[in-house]
Amino acid sequence: MARKSGSSSEKTRPLVRAAALRLFAQGGYAAVSMRQIAAEVGVQAGALYRYTPDKQSLLFELMRVHMEELLVAWAEAAPQGTPLERLDAFVRFHIHHHMDRAEAVFISYMELRNLTPENFAVIEGMRAQYERVLEDILTDCGADTDGKLTTLAVLAMLTGVNTWYREGGRLDRAAVADSYVGLVRRLVSATA
């Protein structure tokens, strides 16, 4: 039997996550205090410890969930077709998924060094899994480039979009994705 809706635990928990996400992205993990997060949520600092054992776990959970969502979203998209079609699909998927989660993406790149070694290893493993997705596609494309190097080059290029793309700018989401599909196709084409 469900509880009466009086408890605000299931309301406050996501608020804590959202506040931490925003503030960590804005000011950096080390520069943001638990008191700032609490103020953003509208509670006192002590109340946060109902939802996280400590500040480190708060950061780790944000990054872990972000990476998990990324891997699950790709698995669910699961595009079929020729290798080049799957490459196009990956480029569009990566750009759109990352545009929609700018803060989580930012944190997941910038705050790696603020993870404990154990937590870092977990995130790195998930990142390696995602890199593998693109590497396999590139292998299937049969490009005559260095597979690992090209994988990292393409991912850096695609993720770099987040550093400059702003909604309402000169190019809309679809135009950006189209442009990068073109760029990546050239990258894997035979040498001119």
Partner DNA sequence: GTCTATAGACAGATAGAC
Partner DNA sequence: GTCTATCTGTCTATAGAC
Place of tokens 């299937």: 140
By CB atoms closer than 10 A (0-12, 13-18, 19+), residue 20 is buried
Residue type at position 29: Y
Q: Which is nearer to a copy of itself, 12 or 159 (CB)?
A: 159
Q: Which is nearer to DNA, 57 or 179 (CB)?
A: 57
CB of 109 to DNA, least distance (A): 21
CA–CA separation, 48 and 114 (whole Å): 20
Q: What is the DSSP letter of 5?
A: T
Q: What are phi and psi of 184, to 5 degrees?
A: -70, -35
Which residues, including other chains, have CB under 8 Å from residue 123's CB and lie 6 or more apart?
A: 60, 63, 64, 67, 108, 112, 115
Residue type at position 175: A
Binding to a copy of itself (CB under 8 A) within 153-192 occurs at 153-157, 159-161, 163-164, 171, 176, 179-180, 182-183, 185-187, 189-192
Q: Which is nearer to a copy of itself, 3 or 170 (CB)?
A: 170
Binding to DNA (CB under 7 A) within 42-61 occurs at 42-47, 49-50, 53-56
CA–CA separation, 94 and 96 (whole Å): 6
From the list a copy of itself, DNA, none, partner contacted by residue 155 (C-beta under 5 to 8 A by kind)? a copy of itself
Site string for a copy of itself, 17-56 (x = CB under 8 A): ---------xxx-xx-------------------------
Rule CB under 8 A: say whether 83 interacts with a copy of itself.
no
Q: Which residues form the interface with DNA (CB under 7 A)?
A: 7-9, 11-12, 32-36, 38, 42-47, 49-50, 53-56
